[in-house]
Structure 1
Amino acid sequence: MQTELKLRIASGVVLAAVTLAATWFGGLAFQLLSALIALLVYYEWSTITDLQERDFQGNAVGWLGVVIIAGLIVTGYIGYSLPVLAAFVVLTVLWVFLQKTSWWLPGGIAYAGLTGISLAALRGADDLGLMATLFVFAVVWATDIFAYFTGRAIGGPKLAPRISPGKTWSGAIGGTICGIVAGVAVFMAYFSLQDLRIPIIALVLSVASQVGDLFESFIKRRFGVKDSSRLIPGHGGVMDRVDGLIFACVAALILVMIQYFVSDGRQIAFGSVLYSL
């Protein structure tokens, strides 16, 4: 077995073990993981887009915003993190207008901030949060894995050749089907499947994860980089590993917000949305 492949497998096992352990324990462990991922995502984003050179002062503001958001996540004040995120995005948008700097600045704050917030909000502190997180993980991981193998086995027309030449429609469809099956399997381990909205939610999350994958591929192609960083041996960077998960978690957060308004402001979580169906 090649050294690179061994390194990739070893680091993959370690990453999976740490992630699943933090997911199982929840609470501070998962909050720390979510905050760390948000900080590393902003580091990689600002490095790829060269914000340090393009706009040193703006990037400093961006770091301040993401650090504050990470602090709120770790201390359990997740409810305050979205308004803080919105404030820093608006502030940096105004900064871009006034200074004629890079639009990648507010984009990076939004991307990194939503990453940490959506992950932490998804897990929550109860058993429903654990189920919801495993549900999303199952959908995203199954979509990613089986999209690769289905695409390799069947081939066919490219999904987005200008963004990611290796992805095919067959892979996207195969990954989506397997993602739905995996999500439904996790849900049925907790509850009986009595509503067709569960597969539909899994479908939405699977599609969102593939859009997230394409979005990160677009950024890397735009700036001519192969990996978001070299932080993870054999795997590249954090963004390379969580690109699909980010968009799936944000989609879950949007579903929660929709349910929040439908339920007249009753505080809920994604696990409660799944359970209520």
Structure 2
Amino acid sequence: MIYFQGSKKTDLMTMPFYNELFLRVLTALIGVPLVVAIIWLGSPYLDGLAYLLLAGMATEWLALNKKTALISVKGFGIFLSGGLYITTAMVCLLTWCSEPWLILWLLCIVWATDIGAYFVGSYLGGPKLAPSISPGKTWSGFFGGLVCGVAAGWVLYSFAAIALPISLLGTLLIITVASQVGDLIESRVKRHFKVKDSGTIIPGHGGLLDRLDSLLFVAICYKLLFVLSKF
């Protein structure tokens, strides 16, 4: 359907996309500086934010599982494993509340990976990464995210004294891959529950699980790297 306004024509089918994109950008412009400021302030503000996020994600997870958790062994198993996954990731992040630079560093890598994957994948296209889980993701986007995440982490590392479990390059490669795996995990969960978003708390972005999916898996993998490096 084409709508004419003066000498311009606008496809009404594309308007919701641009409205959602505008809302996403506006929310990010407000939310990202606020989150960064709280992280920079450290404890007790960062602790409070972490507990609020944990409560919010737990609420979303309960809402997703309310119809399936108690009707089958599989449903109850998914409910428990998801709850354990979210809690474990947040416990890892809470242990770093005295190291705001580390959390900011991980966040920036996750954001750079996500942005790189989106723009490179959108521009180059190509073979699908995991069509049965997330049809929009491509291998070009995966490698674009890998390059952008590693580059951002490498540049920012020079500004912060961060203890690494292994070499810088090895750590960055694992973090960027984990970031994209975390995104795929959330996509698989949403396909299981047949929902577009995990919630609606963040305008234009969906729920907390939608926005923190990559960071959750990154936190677990980064902590696991430190544990394994001691053996």
2:61–2:83 CA contact under 8 A, matched in 1:
no
Cα offset, 1:32, TM superposition: 1.1
The equivalent residue for 2:95 is 121
Moved more, 167-176 or 38-47: 38-47
Structure 1 length-normalised TM: 0.71
Is residue 69 of structure 2 the alignment partner of residue 49 of structure 1?
no
Q: Deviations over 1:112-144 (max 9, x none)?
A: 21232122223x31xxx2222122112111000
Structure 2 length-normalised TM: 0.84
The equivalent residue for 2:50 is 34
> In structure 2, which of residues 216, 220, 225 is the aligned counterpart of residue 250 of structure 1?
220
Matched positions, count: 213
**Secondary structure of the residue that 1:166 maps to in structure 2?**
strand
Distance 2:75 2:33 in 1: 41
**Secondary structure of the residue that 1:27 maps to in structure 2?**
coil
> In structure 2, which of residues 69, 72, 84 is the aligned counterpart of residue 110 of structure 1?
84
Alignment-mate amino acid for residue 46 of structure 1: L
CA 1:113–1:5: 2 relative to 1, 3 Å: same
Determine what percentage of the aligned residue pairs are the same residue.
37
Alignment-mate amino acid for residue 115 of structure 1: A
The equivalent residue for 1:89 is none
Q: Deviations over 1:123-182 (max 9, x none)?
A: x31xxx222212211211100001000001111100000000000001001101110110
Map 1:5-44 → 2, pairs under 5 A: 5-44=21-60
1:8–1:233 CA contact under 8 A, matched in 2:
yes
Distance 1:121 1:253 in 2: 10
Q: Which runs of 5+ in 2 are unaligned?
A: 1-14
Alignment-mate amino acid for residue 29 of structure 1: Y
Cα offset, 1:191, TM superposition: 5.7
Is residue 132 of structure 2 the alignment partner of residue 156 of structure 1?
no
- Which 4+ residue blocks in structure 1 deviate beyond 6 angstroms? none
Structure with the larger helix share:
1
The equivalent residue for 1:211 is 181
Root-mean-square deviation (Å): 2.4
Distance 2:186 2:93 in 1: 18
**Secondary structure of the residue that 1:23 maps to in structure 2?**
helix
Distance 1:6 1:136 in 2: 26
Distance 1:101 1:205 in 2: 30
Map 1:1-277 → 2, pairs under 5 A: 2-50=18-66, 54-55=69-70, 102-122=76-96, 124-125=97-98, 129-190=99-160, 197-259=167-229, 261-262=230-231
Distance 1:114 1:191 in 2: 25
Distance 1:186 1:29 in 2: 23
2:125–2:140 CA contact under 8 A, matched in 1:
yes
Cα offset, 1:101, TM superposition: 6.0
CA 1:5–1:247: 2 relative to 1, 3 Å: same
1:139–1:206 CA contact under 8 A, matched in 2:
yes
